[in-house]
Amino acid sequence: MPDQTYTPRFPELHIPGLPDQPLPPFYGVAVRQPGLPALSDFEGALDKALAAGDALASLPAGSRIAVAVGSRGIARLPHLVLGVIKRLRGMGLAPFIVPSMGSHGGGTAEGQIGVLSKLGVNEETMGAPVLSSMDSVDLGEVEPGVHAHIDRNAFEADGIIIIARVKQHTNFEAEIESGLCKMVSVGLGKATGARNVHVYGRRGLAELMPRIAGHSLARAKFLLGVAVVENSHKELAVIEGVPPEGFFEADRRLLALSKAHAPSLPFEQLDLLVVEYLGKDISGTGMDLKVIGREGFRGDPMRPPYINSIVALRVTKASGGNGIGVGNADFIPRDTADGLDLMSMYFNAMTSACMTRVRIPPVLPTEKLAIQAGLRVCWQPETSRVRACVVKSTSALDRMLVTEALLQDLLAKGLVLGVWRDPGPLTFTPDGALDSGL
Say whether both 55 and 141 belong to one domain: yes
227 and 296 together in one domain = no
Q: What does the alpha-carbon distance between residue 29 and residue 400 come to, in Å, rounded to a whole number?
A: 6
| Domain membership flag for residue 290 | yes
Pick the last residue of a domain from 204, 232, 260.
260
Inside any domain, residue 135: yes
The burial class, CB within 10 Å (0-12 / 13-18 / 19+), for 200 is: middle
Q: Are residues 246 and 292 in the same domain?
A: no
**Residues of the domain holding 81:** 42-260
Per-residue pLDDT tens over the stretch 243-254: 999 999 999 999
How many domains is the chain built from?
2
- Along the 438 residues of the chain, how does pLDDT read in single tens digits? 334 568 999 999 999 999 999 999 999 999 999 889 999 999 999 999 999 988 898 999 999 999 999 987 899 999 999 999 999 999 999 999 999 988 888 789 998 999 899 999 999 999 999 999 999 999 999 999 899 999 999 999 999 999 999 998 877 788 998 999 999 999 999 988 888 888 888 787 889 999 999 999 999 999 999 999 999 888 999 999 999 999 999 999 999 999 999 999 999 999 999 999 999 889 888 999 989 987 766 666 667 899 999 999 999 998 889 999 999 999 999 999 999 999 989 988 888 888 888 999 999 999 999 999 999 999 999 999 999 999 999 999 999 999 999 999 999 999 999 999 999 999 999 999 999 999
CATH number at residue 256: 3.40.50.11440
Beta strands in 173-260 (DSSP E): 222-230, 236-242
Note whether 61 and 138 are same-domain residues.
yes
Which of 216, 241, 260 is the last residue in one of the domains?
Answer: 260
438 inside domain? no
- Long-range CB contacts for residues 61-64, cutoff 8 Å, separation at least 24: 61/92, 61/93, 62/92, 62/93, 62/94, 63/93, 63/94, 63/158, 63/159, 64/93, 64/94, 64/95, 64/96, 64/157, 64/158, 64/159
Burial of 85 (0-12, 13-18, 19+ CB in 10 A): buried
- Per-residue confidence (pLDDT) for residue 35, from 0 to 100: 86
Residue 2 lies in a domain: no
- Could you tell me if 365 and 231 lie in one domain? no
Q: Same structural domain for residues 276 and 309? A: yes
Q: Are residues 290 and 168 in the same domain?
A: no
Taking a C-beta distance cutoff of 8 angstroms, is the pair 255, 222 a contact? no
Last residue of a domain, which of 208, 233, 260? 260
User: Do 52 and 135 have their domain in common?
Assistant: yes
| pTM recorded for the entire structure | 0.85
Alpha helix (H) ranges present in 224-353? Answer: 247-260, 289-292, 334-338, 342-352
Phi and psi (nearest 5°) for 327?
Answer: -70, -15
Shared domain check, 221 and 93: yes
Do residues 82 and 182 share a domain?
yes
- Same domain for 206 and 281? no
DSSP calls for 43-104? HHHHHHHHHT-HHHHTSPTT-EEEEEE-SS--TTHHHHHHHHHHHHHHTT-EEEEEE--TTT
Amino acid making up residue 230: E
In a domain, 5, yes or no: no
What Å distances lie between residue 48 and 106, 321, 415, CA to CA? 36, 38, 36
Number of residues that make up the chain: 438
Number of helical H runs and strand E runs in the chain? 16, 15
* 213 and 292 part of one domain: no
Residue 97 φ then ψ, to 5°: -105, 135
